[in-house]
Structure 1
Amino acid sequence: MKKITIKRLLLISAFFASFIFSALIRADQTSTHVPIWHKLSLTLEGPHTSELATPNPFTDYRLDATFTSPTNKQYTVPGYYAADANTAQTHATAGNKWQVLFSPNELGKWRYTLSFVKGSNIASVPLNTVTNEQSAGFFDKQTGEFNVTAATKSSSSKDFKSKGKLEYVNKPYLQFNGSKEYFLKAGANSPEVLLGFSGFDATPTKRNYQAHIKHWQNSDPTWQTTNTETDNSTHQSSKGIIGLINYLASLNINAYYFLTMNAYGDGDQVWPWLSKTQTTRYDVSKLAQWDIVFSHMQQKGIMTHFVMSETENESLFEWNESQLKNDFAVSRKIYYRELFARFGYHLATTWNIGEENGWQDPSGDDKQQKANTTKQRKQFADYFQSLTYYPEHIVIHNGPSLDYHIYDKPNDNILGYPAYTGASLQGELKTNTTYGDVLKYRQLTQSNPHPWVITMDEAYIYEYANNVDTWRNSNVWATFMAGGAGIEFYLGGGGDLVEQDLTPYKDYYLAMTNAVAFFQKYVPFTKLKPTPELTKTGWALSDNSTFYLFYFSNASQAQVTLPNACYTLNWFNPRTNDYINGKRFCVNTSTSTQLATPPNTHNNDWVYLINLSAK
């Protein structure tokens, strides 16, 4: 009788445990039904702990969810400690909530299985690695399911949820999985200290983007901060950074490059931890506030370009942990996991291992600023890839400007390494080198089985940028005509650290976004290749058959070599965005052909679109 009673009690207990677990999952708005490409949030009740607890919730527990799609594809997604799961508003440092975030890519019924284990530094070890891990109980091995439904049409065509996941597709351009549209980047590179914002908890800065509060709109998010540095009232404190994003989006900027960690660096204000010395203790409320901004960026069509270190701290983790005896610190692995677990569900992302990586600055130290090696660059990217489940875009940034040794030093480089999907180039704005630099790496990697996506992410300039024509001619159009997939604008003159008002740079942003709009509307760019042999006076992209695109900085010198045939010619004015219909012409010579000049302004830059004419 006693045994039967105990057995019944156990069954009843199991039933209620299952019920409580299931109810918790259903209670989350997006957990049983979620539109395709929207965020699924699994909020789970686990051990009650805190940011400073022992065992450390960031290192000594590991939560993963393995999702199985309706077509039986599996995706393993890392989870994280969430305190009370509302920390952006409550600033909680303790709680029993754990979360997994995921954006599903198929319609229909999905299933998932949870893994929750514990052990010293277990979070640094990928799932399915043989370890001495122990079950952490609670929801370990629990299963569940949810349905993914068709999404209602977004009110904004810019919202990435209307396009799907932006993925590396083994081509020189990224592609949205849903809409199948290819992506060309027109991005902001400055201020790189974007997250050094007084509206975030525990961020030592007075930067508030006051000039952009007027660009905040009534439907936009707000949150309160505990930051005593803020000069705004509590309810105003979050508006500046949201307004800045709105301003850039109004100019069709579609990417933003920012540091997630600049401890001991130029800005020395941004880190995801409780302090810059506590590199395994994460500030949960600050990270939740960051994610509000990242979500707003995604809604506004702005890719989040996460730059995870800079040259002043590229060996910070290894120095702190082992004085460089270990070339891949456990704390670095935790850092990568925390960032990807919390923000990897976003649809348009670039993961940049480090800014100016590999630069041993003579004015720096050989400790935390010690230059990473080629071996480390490969290890770091390999590990980050192990965290991903969709084809993410993973890059690294060279430095100083025009020093490309990390890509091409003989027998000691990462060029074409498969864990990377592209190069984040740093050149110079005024040296007329952008075209040649982008072309070089585009051509070197396209012959590789793993072609890279090449972007000019920093055309460096010592002083503030002060010549829009040079920017447009020698950088923006140079990048795209060399087969580059995008460019970002760097302010210069220290503006990447101090500038808070981006409105004076409107023309620089428009030079990029107008070029992108032109390519997206008129140019089948994914079918074209750089063909410099077709002209000595400009730049060319073509399919060497039916479509030819030329850019000339001086239209009076528009000389090209084309196969003998008849063509139609149209012009595009990159200064005014005017598209002008031209005329039919024929080529019947083995020498170069002088193309007709467009109406007016013959000595300025012009774009020529040439199509093979029907006979």
Structure 2
Amino acid sequence: MFLIKLNKVSKTQLSAFQAISVTSFTLVNADNEQDIQTLSNGTTLNLATLPSRNLNIRANTSPVQVPSVVFNLSGRQSTTKTENIIPYALFGDNNGNYNSWTPSVGSYTLKATPYSATGGGGTAGTALTVNFQIVDNNGGVITGSLKKWQPITIDFTGPPSSQSSVSPNPFLDYKLQVTFSHAATSKTYNVPGFFDGDGKGGASGNCWRVRFNPDESGTWKYAISFRKGTNVAIDLNQLAGSPVSIDGATGNFTIAPADATAPGFLRHGRLEYSNGLYLKCQDGSYWIKGGTNSPENFIALPFSNHIIDWKSGDPDWNNGQGKGIIGALNYLGSFNVNSIYFMPMNIGGDAQDTWPFAGPIVKSGSSGNDNVHYDINKLAKWEQIFSHAQKKGILLHFVLNEAEAANKQELDNATLGKERKLFYRELIARFGHHNALVWNLCEEYNYQLPIQPSMIKSWAQYVLDVDPYNHPVTVHNYGNPNTAWTPFLGDSRFSVTSFQYAGSTAGRGAEVESWRTKTSNAGRPLPICLDELRVTTTSNMIIQRKEILWPTYFSGGAGLEYYFGSLDQSLQDFRPYEPLWTWTWYARKFMEENLPFWQMQPNDGLLTAESTAFGGGQVFAKTGEVYAVYLPNASLGGTLNLTGVPGVFQQRWYNPRTGAFEGSMKTVTGGGNINIGTAPSSNTEDWVVLLINSAVIVRNKEILRNKGS
């Protein structure tokens, strides 16, 4: 189709115009000169769904003819163009045949200004500016902030189904996998997708969804694999089944750099194994856990006492039913509790109130339960809970089996069969995009119905085969870990411990030190975490602080979680344990703000002459640079052996009960035994002594000064 050329506007004609303006933009198909659509401010153009990728943009004016129009395009691509004859086309034309432009994916700003003379001369009229975005998504609708470390969701229109459909079962007999590849780094993730009903929590629909967490800024490409076949979802063979529907579709999107002001883990990035004794956020620091082990049925409880902690703008559902649990996360986050331990399936266990299945379910456990159809609405609520936790800096400690025999047998009679594989896949597909989580394969794996270590390893392998992000995997033991956890030493499938100890509390520090050595000697040093630490009374909380909390951290332990005994499954108010949350934060804060703890080693033998109450003192040191001493009872002070360690050290006292340094700083000289001296006050209570080499302080100040410049 050809357009008829019109003559240039004469000066006489122009004088009759009251005003000139650009009134709109039209997107044009350069293959056939046909108009596609009006290009309005905020428009998103999807190259994959447009009738052509060969485009142009026309400016429409009032009056229809003006002497000239000057274009300015900026953004992903930029250009300027002056047009004197209609059609006023951004990329020009040849006798009405539009020149072709295939845009790059990204954001753009287009401004067009009419002028009263040719060549952009004379007086400028009223310009028009629009912002628009180009994407290339073949059938996928992308939502999310499009920033590094902030998950995005891509929805595809696939075969309609329902969460109760049997033939085919949308969870088991379809397999959506999406491969994401970074254009510049070639980093690739093969991410499992899932059936999500109507995409809004409804059980029926044609929404097939994938969630992806980008760990690089820049352009990402994706390619869809969509297969159908009996049990194809749990088959690790990428070519299992046959291709259907949206298989082969592709797309891309652009991710902006990380937001330095984003909350929680959205700022710090994925928490991962760092080939050492602490987990580390990929774009942040090394991490120490201080969390709650109770209630183990966290995601099933209403937490009515925490409704008052819910804030306007927080997630909610069913007219207030979500306020309690979201409020509980707000409360925990306000005390810097950074981990919650919970079970997504406790059928046949203690509380018998949590499962992701559509049901009906026999709570006490039954081989007749339908464990291959999932409750889409419930899982949508869980996603809101987990997303809010991540924003509060709270790790998700998924415990995938409970200790009781009936729970262990609920999925495939405790084997790695169809139900268990699908359970793992659904949880990973729906929640694996979160930055900070741990897959704990089984609570007390060696209790009641002992699961053999070889089976635990096979479970771990399947989880890692499905999880594209390689989140840390662990298993929890019953009783003394020296026997129960030894089979996992040196196994690359396990990235952190989840220890339960039998016996007294006073020996925990020594056990942590022993296991740091064991895992290191086995060739895979692991972060040593203690879970299910029993808290019963206020006095017991003090014992926890003196015999477990500080000794664990100062022995090089990477974390701990507290368990509240008989209140475990009914705990709905965290306030009675506020001193414990406070003291745990004070300990973590001391470590994070004052110590290069990931470089330090326990060395209790350096301390003598201290009180032996509560197991005696603890020393955590980076030889020659930093020494931290914990005294559960400071009445006798103590002697620190710095023989052979020259230098001048600054010594300060830190109060574990207030989270502050107290008293005046003093200077001590190394090279021999140092008398720690007397605490600033309450010397029969617990205190921390910090000694830092003055040369280190000067060096650190210089580093900070250079960073500032």
Shift of 1:44: 0.7
Match of 1:183 among 287, 290, 312: 287
Paired residue for 2:510? 436
Change in CA separation of 1:595 and 1:40 when aligned onto 2, cut-off 3 Å: same
Paired residue for 1:228? none
Q: Distance in 2 between matches of 1:192 and 1:476?
A: 21
Paired residue for 2:205? 95
Change in CA separation of 1:583 and 1:545 when aligned onto 2, cut-off 3 Å: same
Match of 1:563 among 623, 643, 651: 643
Q: Does the CA contact (< 8 Å) of 1:428 and 1:458 recur in 2?
A: no
RMSD of aligned alpha carbons: 2.4
SS in 1 for 2:581: helix
Q: Deviations over 1:260-308 (max 9, x none)?
A: 1111101111111123421111111101111100001011111111111
Q: Distance in 2 between matches of 1:541 and 1:270?
A: 41
Q: Which moved more, 1:344-353 or 1:446-455?
A: 446-455
Paired residue for 1:604? 685
Q: Which moved more, 1:116-125 or 1:430-439?
A: 430-439
Match of 1:172 among 231, 254, 277: 277
Q: Deviations over 1:52-79 (max 9, x none)?
A: 2111111111111111013111111111
Paired residue for 2:467? 388
Q: Distance in 1 between matches of 2:603 and 2:490?
A: 22
Q: Does residue 411 of structure 2 align to residue 329 of structure 1?
A: no
Q: Distance in 1 between matches of 2:146 and 2:681?
A: 55
- What pairs up with 1:298-377 in 2 under 5 angstroms? 298-313=390-405, 316=408, 321=412, 327-360=415-448, 370-377=449-456
SS in 1 for 2:500: strand
SS in 2 for 1:195: helix
- What pairs up with 1:573-588 in 2 under 5 angstroms? 573-580=655-662, 581-588=664-671
Q: TM-score, normalised by structure 1?
A: 0.84
Q: Which amino acid aligns with 2:484?
A: I
Paired residue for 2:317? 223
- What pairs up with 1:545-556 in 2 under 5 angstroms? 545-555=624-634, 556=636
Q: Does residue 192 of structure 2 align to residue 86 of structure 1?
A: no
- What pairs up with 1:182-581 in 2 under 5 angstroms? 182-197=286-301, 208-224=302-318, 235-275=319-359, 276=361, 277-313=369-405, 316=408, 321=412, 327-360=415-448, 370-399=449-478, 401-402=479-480, 404-408=482-486, 413-427=487-501, 431-460=505-534, 463-464=536-537, 466-492=539-565, 494-536=566-608, 537-555=616-634, 556-564=636-644, 565=646, 566-580=648-662, 581=664
Q: Does the CA contact (< 8 Å) of 2:140 and 2:154 recur in 1?
A: no
Q: Which amino acid aligns with 1:559?
A: T
Q: Does the CA contact (< 8 Å) of 2:529 and 2:559 recur in 1?
A: yes
Q: Distance in 1 between matches of 2:695 and 2:555?
A: 28
Match of 1:73 among 168, 173, 187: 187
Q: Distance in 2 between matches of 1:499 and 1:36?
A: 36
Paired residue for 1:161? 266
Q: Does the CA contact (< 8 Å) of 1:305 and 1:349 recur in 2?
A: yes
SS in 1 for 2:348: coil
Q: Which amino acid aligns with 2:683?
A: H
Q: Which moved more, 1:379-388 or 1:434-443?
A: 434-443
Q: Distance in 2 between matches of 1:452 and 1:16?
A: 48
Shift of 1:490: 1.3
Q: Distance in 2 between matches of 1:146 and 1:248?
A: 36
Q: Deviations over 1:469-496 (max 9, x none)?
A: 201111111210111111112112x111
Q: Does residue 169 of structure 2 align to residue 56 of structure 1?
A: yes
Match of 1:105 among 215, 222, 230: 215
Paired residue for 2:93? none
Shift of 1:19: 5.5
Q: Does the CA contact (< 8 Å) of 1:430 and 1:470 recur in 2?
A: no
Shift of 1:26: 6.1
Q: Does the CA contact (< 8 Å) of 1:426 and 1:460 recur in 2?
A: no
Q: Does the CA contact (< 8 Å) of 1:456 and 1:486 recur in 2?
A: yes
Runs (5+) with no aligned partner, structure 2 = 1-45, 52-134, 362-368, 609-615, 697-709
Paired residue for 2:119? none
Q: Distance in 2 between matches of 1:419 and 1:545?
A: 36
Q: Deviations over 1:333-376 (max 9, x none)?
A: 1111100100000011111111111112xxxxxxxxx3210101
Paired residue for 2:9? none
Q: Distance in 1 between matches of 2:629 and 2:481?
A: 29
- What is the total number of aligned residue pairs between the two structures? 547
Q: Which amino acid aligns with 1:56?
A: N
Shift of 1:416: 2.7
Change in CA separation of 1:120 and 1:439 when aligned onto 2, cut-off 3 Å: same
Paired residue for 1:28? 142
Q: Distance in 2 between matches of 1:451 and 1:267?
A: 35
Shift of 1:429: 8.9
Q: Which amino acid aligns with 1:173?
A: Y
Runs (5+) with no aligned partner, structure 1 = 1-14, 198-207, 225-234, 361-369
Q: Which amino acid aligns with 1:438?
A: V
Q: Distance in 2 between matches of 1:343 and 1:59?
A: 18
Determine which structure has greater relative contact order: mean sequence separation of CA pairs < 8 Å that are 6+ residues apart, divided by chain length.
1
Shift of 1:121: 1.2
Q: Deviations over 1:303-329 (max 9, x none)?
A: 111111111157745x664x56xx421
Shift of 1:185: 1.1
SS in 1 for 2:378: helix
Q: Does the CA contact (< 8 Å) of 1:446 and 1:452 recur in 2?
A: yes
SS in 2 for 1:28: strand
SS in 1 for 2:370: coil
- Higher radius of gyration, 1 or 2: 2
Q: Does the CA contact (< 8 Å) of 2:164 and 2:358 recur in 1?
A: no
Q: Does the CA contact (< 8 Å) of 2:411 and 2:420 recur in 1?
A: no
Q: Does the CA contact (< 8 Å) of 1:263 and 1:313 recur in 2?
A: no
SS in 1 for 2:497: strand
Q: Distance in 2 between matches of 1:154 and 1:24?
A: 32
Paired residue for 1:8? none
Q: Deviations over 1:139-194 (max 9, x none)?
A: 111111000112444364xx21111111111111111112x311111111111111
Q: Distance in 2 between matches of 1:334 and 1:552?
A: 50
SS in 2 for 1:568: strand
Change in CA separation of 1:313 and 1:143 when aligned onto 2, cut-off 3 Å: farther
Q: Does residue 251 of structure 2 align to residue 150 of structure 1?
A: no
Q: Does the CA contact (< 8 Å) of 1:109 and 1:148 recur in 2?
A: yes
Change in CA separation of 1:16 and 1:160 when aligned onto 2, cut-off 3 Å: closer
Higher strand fraction (1 or 2):
2
Q: Distance in 2 between matches of 1:601 and 1:23?
A: 66
Q: Distance in 2 between matches of 1:559 and 1:310?
A: 47
Q: Distance in 2 between matches of 1:17 and 1:155?
A: 32
Q: Percent identity?
A: 32
The 4+ residue runs of structure 1 with deviation greater than 6 A are 20-24
Change in CA separation of 1:44 and 1:19 when aligned onto 2, cut-off 3 Å: farther
Q: Deviations over 1:216-274 (max 9, x none)?
A: 111111112xxxxxxxxxx1211111111111111111111111111110111111112
Q: Does the CA contact (< 8 Å) of 1:395 and 1:423 recur in 2?
A: yes
SS in 1 for 2:333: helix
Q: Distance in 1 between matches of 2:493 and 2:406?
A: 19
